[in-house]
Amino acid sequence: MSFDRSAIPAPTRLELEIDDDVAHAAFRQQGLRTVVANMDDPFTRRAAQSEVAVLGYGRNADFTDWDTMCITYAENRLHLMNHIGFDKYMSAELTKFVSMSVEVVEIPRKGLGLRATRDIPRGQTFVVERPLLTCMGTMDPYIGLNFDKLIQKGMSPEHREAYYKLHNCKSKASGMIESLSIMRSNALAAEWAFDKSEPQRAVFEITSRANHSCVPNATYDWSFPHFTGGLRSLVPIKKGEEVTLSYTGKMFEPASERRAELLEQYAFECTCPSCTLSQDRQKKSDARRVALGKRYALHREDKFFDQMRIELGYDDSYIVETLNMCDAEGLVEQRADMMVAYAQFEAMRANLTGDLTRAEELAKRAIKEIKKIGFRSLWEAMDEIVEKKKTADGGPKKPNLLEMMKHMNLEQLEQLQSGPSSSTSNPRSVLQLRKNMSQKQRQKAVEKTKLILQHMLMVEVGAKVVRRDF
């Protein structure tokens, strides 16, 4: 589709109005609107909606402060203020809960990091907190230039102090605006139900302190209903152990690639167990991650939906091999992800086969994986598959024979003994049915399955929370 550039208004001057006389509380209470009319690139983002709002989300008990400073598009302002948790004061309880689980301490050779202050079982959410700051995923350069000013005006003194104490991976000599650089060093992804045009970025006082590992023992979650982010354990974490999560999207690439990315983006050398192996073992680990990556990538590529896979599905030996590779690399979250993808694939394939038996089996196995790491949202998706199978079994296709026999006459009972009925829940009948489908009908069914699968997995991948590059 061509785009008529001449129709775009000429770039206008930035008008970021920050009135120095407006007190901090008033500034945030009003959800101050600033105008950023920079329309020189209609492709980068929502040029037509160039007004920006800065407001506080959540009020604490004395109404003098808000938990989170939000920099967002002006049209999101009311959505935020109408959010169900907006008036809830959560900080005190949450802070207490979090302080029972972790502490911010000096980690040898890494600077500050998080350390568990109690034994944390696997699959437990052990850090929950409101962000200090959220801002839009695509930063308008003018907002960037005025970032310090916005923080100064929009954040409470306590939060501001906590914010400026966070790690800054760029040196002051780099000339980068400090507050912006802190945001880039510490931001995690957040998602707002009312604005899915791009992910939000969220900076946390505690969660953002977790250092990186290519074999992380925790993962980051964002909860829109609670307007909180936090950490969930992927394996049991012992008291005194460092809490880590993954910053990189290159978990399936060789150590050299991961290390190069982390050095460039976050300015540190990764010394995690997976990056400091002996030469021989590193080679094997790299090969395993790359091979696993190819399987993982199938989720996002047409190959996952190719004719052969839709016809045959993924067999157990293939699936077990995948899971074993994840185990060897300590990739706990990815192990569950893969199992879920196989179950979802099989559930969709049932559109073609008419048989949910395999889907149910894989869904039950996926539920086990999910339970281990407390990944509730995926758990529900898997439960749905199991329920679907139950409904299919409970329907008229597979009646309770004993119950029916009570009401049968002699002739019907004789018929029952003489052979299987033509019920479509019988797998043999399904095969028969498929044989009877014309080439065209089959092709149509395959196409439909492909489309549904692609859509589902895109939603899945889109919902994934990873640290983003910016």
- Interface residues with Zn ion (CB under 5 A) are 214, 270, 272, 275
Pick 260 or 456: Cβ nearer Zn ion: 260
Pick 156 or 211: Cβ nearer Zn ion: 211
Amino acid occupying residue 170: K
Pick 65 or 286: Cβ nearer Zn ion: 286
Give strand pairing partners of 205: none
Least distance to Zn ion, CB of residue 114, Å: 17
Least distance to Zn ion, CB of residue 325, Å: 17
Pick 270 or 319: Cβ nearer Zn ion: 270
Q: In terms of Cα–Cα distance, which of 159, 186, 182, 160 is closest to 171?
A: 182
What Cα–Cα distance (Å) separates residue 87 from each residue in 81, 90, 126, 230?
Answer: 9, 9, 24, 20
Least distance to Zn ion, CB of residue 214, Å: 3
Pick 255 or 339: Cβ nearer Zn ion: 255
Q: In terms of Cα–Cα distance, which of 15, 12, 56 is closest to 38?
A: 12
Encode 285-302: b = buried (16+ Cβ within 10 Å), e = exposed: bbebbeebbebbebbeee
Pick 248 or 353: Cβ nearer Zn ion: 248
Least distance to Zn ion, CB of residue 270, Å: 3
Pick 183 or 270: Cβ nearer Zn ion: 270
Q: Give the whole-angstrom CA distance, residue 71 versus residue 59.
A: 16
Q: In terms of Cα–Cα distance, which of 393, 380, 314 is closest to 346?
A: 314
The CB density around residue 281, as the number of other CB atoms within 10 Å, is 11
Residues 34, 147 contacting (CB under 8 angstroms) = no
Q: Which two tokens stand for residue 217?
A: 């023992």
Least distance to Zn ion, CB of residue 28, Å: 40
Least distance to Zn ion, CB of residue 192, Å: 31
First to last CA, the chain: 27
Edge-to-edge strands, sheet with 228-233: 125-129, 228-233, 218-223
Q: Give the whole-angstrom CA distance, residue 320 versus residue 329.
A: 14
Least distance to Zn ion, CB of residue 259, Å: 7
Q: Give the whole-angstrom CA distance, residue 169 versus residue 327.
A: 32
Least distance to Zn ion, CB of residue 221, Å: 22
Q: Give the whole-angstrom CA distance, residue 286 versus residue 255.
A: 6
The CB density around residue 424, as the number of other CB atoms within 10 Å, is 14
Pick 214 or 237: Cβ nearer Zn ion: 214
Q: Give the whole-angstrom CA distance, residue 12 versus residue 139.
A: 17
Residue with tokens 């299987």: 420
Pick 214 or 381: Cβ nearer Zn ion: 214
Q: Give the whole-angstrom CA distance, residue 32 versus residue 290.
A: 48
Least distance to Zn ion, CB of residue 81, Å: 42
Residues 468, 186 contacting (CB under 8 angstroms) = no
Pick 186 or 274: Cβ nearer Zn ion: 274
